[in-house]
Amino acid sequence: MSALVIKAWRADTKPIDDRNTFVSITGREGGLIAWLLSLMGVDPTTTIRVGLERVEFTSSSLAGTESRMVPLQSVCSTYYGYHKPWKAAASFLALFAFLGFSFAAPAAHSGDGFSFPIFAGTTGVGLILALIYYFLNRTLTLGFVEHSGAVCAIRFKRSVIENVDIDEQQARSVCTIVQRLIEAKEKRALQSVRT
């Protein structure tokens, strides 16, 4: 699954709505066309909602909607990951530095001397492109593992248009909230068995 851009991210230790939802994360497909479709109300999105009783995954597209509701007591663990594409960004920079050297070297052989401005300009363009690539392609994976072994995970990346960015701390916070909800649910279940 490709990474979705974050459209909305709400998570708190207290309910964020009247349905006792503690986490609500919505992502959409990336790109200008998907954003324009969302403005027109044709909004293919993926949403994760975590409440007192269940984790709900909803995915909507032009073809329809699909929902998966997992009882909270069926979730055994949560996880998150943060990927920083520094190798690809460094490759962009190296490629442009190589191209700059390749364009500047013939000037040195023709007797005009090494053309440093050509090298510096090409490398500078590579640096700018590498930084843009790095900041727009950092991805966050957020997932839940069920007792059955099924894994439900969604990858997100920064949304430039909606200007929503998240980091590892926010993802860790979501995992902590879900773990506390699971533990509270287990305690309530144990207390009801004892009484």
Q: Which of 41, 43, 40 is nearest to 61 (CA)?
A: 43
In this structure, are residues 142 and 49 in contact, taking their beta carbons and an 8 Å threshold?
Answer: no
63 Cα distance to chain centroid = 24
With a pLDDT cut of 70, the percent of the chain lying above it is 93
**Taking the chain, what is the end-to-end CA distance rounded to the nearest angstrom?**
46
Q: Which of 132, 130, 135, 138 is nearest to 90 (CA)?
A: 130
Q: Comparing 48 with 32, which gets the higher pLDDT?
A: 48
Mean predicted confidence (pLDDT) in 157-185:
82
Residue 149 has pLDDT above 80, yes or no: yes
Q: For the chain, which domains are there?
A: 4-84+138-194 (2.30.29.30), 86-134 (no CATH)
Average pLDDT of the chain, as a whole number: 84
